[in-house]
Amino acid sequence: MGIEMMAVGMVLALFALLLIGIPVPFALAASGIVFGLFGFGSSLFGLLPLRVYGVVTNYTLLAIPLFVFMGVMLEKSRLAERMLDVIGHVAGARPGGMTVAIIIVGVLMGASTGIVAATVVTVGLISLPTLLARRYNKALACGTICAAGTLGQIIPPSLVLIVLADISGESVGTLFAGALIPGLLLSGLYVVYLVIMAKLKPHTMPPIDASERAAVDTRTLMIDLAKVVAPPLALIVLVLGSIIGGVAAPTEAASVGAIGAIVLVACTGRLNRKVMSETVISTFKITGMTLFVLIAAQVFSLAFRGLGGDRLIDSLFAFLPGGVWGGILFMMVLVFLLGFFLDWIEISYIVMPLLFPYFQAQGVDLAWLCILVAMNLQTSFLTPPFGWSLFYLKGVAPPEISSRDIYVGVLPYIGIQFLTLALLCLMPSLVTWLPKAIGW
């Protein structure tokens, strides 16, 4: 077997191990070690300790546990519950007002917590029974909750962007700045879709009853709105503004965000030993899983490059029609299909280190490419039948909600995500303008 064919065999062995249920880090390390030893012997892995040391001492990656801590801590504050209640009453006077409120809460939660599972589960538990009681269409309600919950994948501070920054070599601040306009564009298109649906089919999303609205004093509602929205907005501006503005490094800003989350939870009166303990344990679990995959990916990538896999990738792209754009289309389709079976962490560490060097050699803006990948990964969270957000919502949905309701409800939002992805391809300035304008 030629050495390049061993690289192909290693990739096939990896996916075979994944299909039979071997955890991703073990599959990555096992396939890399076995094929690396057969191809080169133990000498190939002499560089491995240095690569692992580079991972565990990477200062930027310290932002991951800090942002995870911030997100989990804010989840404990029941921030989403209070925001949905107040914003829902403000927007609920018009048809579709509650669904628009869910999108707004999704943006705020995505920018303050960035954890998809927590957002979908929390918003689903709080809002879905209320929407059903107010005679909202079941599919529309489910689709809106799933779509709003996944906004944390593209809106900074997203863990996806931090990981892609580490893989691509771009700065976290550049990716955060580049993702801001696409994230708001996607959210805006969601709202436009809901407004159009409210015009065409107002019976599927009726407004809150006048008697219920009259029971809430307008002045009190506005005060509550300021109290509910101002604290998370202040935290978002403090964290993201300091990173994008170049005032603080991502890790420093993340530490401020973690402390700010503790203060917010303390202000709600929910900070206690149990909450702190659960937050720390969840943070360790999520961070440990992420770094374990990253370390195992070093074994795989080292063996793949040693076996000439990078030359195979170059040859593959040379055969694709359309040049660089053909390569980008191929990568987008591959990432989308892998999203049916793998989590975003696994896709990022398995596929991106293999493909990014080719695009870098072709002079493609890697920051723009990372945002395309992040948007594509977000789409995979919604795609039936394996979208993770669909599973999260189904797990907390009332018995009258079927899987079909959820699958049908997310289809328009998947179409909107593809539209946004196409706009980012046709108009790269949507990604590149803000980083250039602020000097990144």
DSSP states of 226-241 as a string? HHHHHHHHHHHHHHHH
Of 327, 335, 329, which is closest to residue 380 (Cα–Cα)? 335
Which residues are CB-contacts of 63 (< 8 A; sequence separation ≥ 6)?
157, 162, 172, 250, 251, 253, 254
Element (H, E) at 207: none
Highest mean pLDDT among 80-89, 105-114, 225-234, 248-257: 248-257
The answer to whether 90 and 225 have CB atoms below 8 angstroms apart is: yes
Mean pLDDT of 309-336: 82
Q: What is the pLDDT of residue 373?
A: 92
pLDDT band at 25 (very low <50, low <70, confident <90, very high): confident
Q: Residue 80 above 70 pLDDT?
A: no
The structure tokens 């202040």 sit at 234
pLDDT value for 418: 92
Phi/psi for 401 (5° steps) reads -90, 120
For residue 92, pLDDT beyond 70: no
Percent of the chain with pLDDT over 90: 13
Phi-psi category of residue 73: left, alpha or beta, with phi > 0 → left and psi -120 to 50 → alpha: alpha
Residue 341 has pLDDT above 70, yes or no: no
- d(CA 98, CA 206) in angstroms, rounded, equals 9
Tell me which long-range contacts 327-335 makes (C-beta under 8 A, separation of at least 24).
327/358, 327/359, 327/362, 328/359, 328/364, 328/369, 328/372, 328/425, 331/355, 331/373, 332/372, 332/376, 332/421, 335/373, 335/376, 335/377, 335/380
pLDDT tens readout for residues 210-264 = 666 666 666 777 777 777 777 877 887 888 788 777 777 778 888 888 888 888 8
pLDDT tens digit sequence for 131-142: 887 788 889 989
pLDDT recorded at residue 214: 63
Quick: pLDDT tens for 363-401.
Answer: 889 999 999 999 988 887 788 766 778 877 887 788 888
Tokens of 305: 């490059």
C-alpha 119: how far from chain center: 11
The answer, yes or no, to whether residue 424 has pLDDT greater than 80, is: yes
Of 132-141, 159-168, 174-183, give the range with the top mean pLDDT: 174-183
pLDDT at 1 over 60: no
Compute the C-alpha angle 161/162/167, nearest 5°: 95
Helix and strand numbers (H, E) in the chain are 21, 0
Lowest mean pLDDT among 13-22, 143-152, 350-359, 381-390: 381-390
Question: Is residue 2 scored above 70 in pLDDT?
Answer: no
